[in-house]
Amino acid sequence: MPLTEINFDGIVGPSHNYAGLSFGNVASMGHAGQVSRPRSAALEGIDKMRANLALGLAQGIFLPHPRPHRGWLARLGTSIEEAEPTIAANAMSASPMWAANAATVSPAPDTADRKCHLTVANLRTMPHRSLEWRSTLSQLLVAFRDGAYFQVHPPVPPAFGDEGAANHMRLASGHAEPGLEIFVYGVSGGAFPARQHVEASKAIARLHLLDPGRTVFVQQSEAAIAAGAFHNDVVAVSNERVLFAHEQAFADKQRLLDACQTNVPGFEYVEVAAAEVPLEDAVKSYLFNAQLVSSPDGEMTLVVPTEARETASVWRWIERHLAGNGPIRRVEVVDVRESMANGGGPACLRLRVVADPATIDPRFLADEARLDRIADVVRQHWPEQIAHDALQRPELIADVERARSALLDTLGLSELASA
């Protein structure tokens, strides 16, 4: 079975707006109340997927969730028309676009039953994200329905916060080789909450039947959380045998590096010193919230947002240390400004799954032709702009619901209309 890394990107939904709902996410809070551009946001995401295809990578998609979330509102005894503005904003959030929070994924070589395991994240820390898991579960059960190859788990109990792959990394010498799975949890971060609980991480490791000897739990540093690194993927990213991280990413860096050296042949660590790139610049630029990928020619590429090029300390570090110096041979820049303004960079938009593409429902896999069809729907149906005070207007709500329905029809996934 040819195992391949597939990047599943969330299609930016038609209700994309700036409500500033994510406490601890500096960009989200800083852009609260501004006018969003859902059509541009979705097209930016599609262009990023095209760039991945151009690198020779396998590409998948996840769908926007139903918005407004009428079922959630009904359980609160209200409706989108009558809800208080903050409740309405939660129900209209397009946050499922950040697929890195959809689930935690353990490839088959790491699990005792040799199946790829996926556990849906409960996202219980933020109200607007906590209502995502049912729709995410519905999609995963369709996309990865073949029980011979996949095991899809519902979320761990919400008493323990789980944010999915944004706090999970894997190092391995090859897709078919057993890897070291790294679960990063938080304890505190000054005024900002730590979203990933160690109990959730340990539960997922047990559910995924991981080898305890090849599983490590490491605490995110309090300084990183306090600086706005609400997820580990804002300060660290891994690919194959390479860990790329900020000097202040982890509370006990040496213990993690020792585990990597022991379990990953040829392990390489690329560190960005705080003296060269302060945590605040790393968070602002999303240098680490990048896609670190390997193209078929074996060249490792770091896909960064335009904000990395526009942050002086970050781009200076890249020019001095990357693109030919060490394991990361190439740097590509993508424009995802609409997502960045709401707090999510290139890595936030994708969930990595190592699997044989032939075992996945093909409707969730993308090529240029399918991206063309998605882009046509976006141009025709996605709102051009959304003002924050317009979220409860009947015309906008109708447009948002029609847009998602048109996308499902185009992709042949109407069975997920109510999911």
Question: Would you please indicate which residues are annotated as catalytic (active-site) residues?
Answer: 163, 231, 348
Q: How far apart are CA 378 and CA 12, in angstroms?
A: 10
For the chain, the straight-line distance linking the first and the last C-alpha, in angstroms and rounded, comes to: 31
Check if the beta carbon of residue 308 is closer than 8 Å to that of residue 292: no
Q: How far apart are CA 86 and CA 83, in angstroms?
A: 8
- Tell me which DSSP letter residue 154 carries: P
Question: To 10 degrees, what angle do helices 38-54 and 368-381 make?
Answer: 170
Check if the beta carbon of residue 245 is closer than 8 Å to that of residue 272: yes
- Tell me which DSSP letter residue 373 carries: H
| Phi, psi angle pair for 285, to nearest 5° | -90, -20
Angle at 193 between CA 179 and CA 196, to 5 degrees: 20
Nearest to 161 by CA among 129, 125, 193, 188: 125
* H helix or E strand, kind and range, residue 91: helix 85-91
Reduced to 3 states (helix: H, G, I; strand: E, B; else coil), residue 28 is helix
* Residues written for the chain: 419
Residue 321 in tokens: 């240390």
Q: How far apart are CA 56 and CA 251, in angstroms?
A: 36
Q: How far apart are CA 365 and CA 229, in angstroms?
A: 31
Q: How far apart are CA 276 and CA 89, in angstroms?
A: 39
How many CB atoms sit inside 10 A of residue 101's CB?
30
What is the β-pairing status of strands 350-355 and 4-10? antiparallel
Check if the beta carbon of residue 288 is closer than 8 Å to that of residue 235: yes
- Cα 407 from chain centroid (whole Å): 21
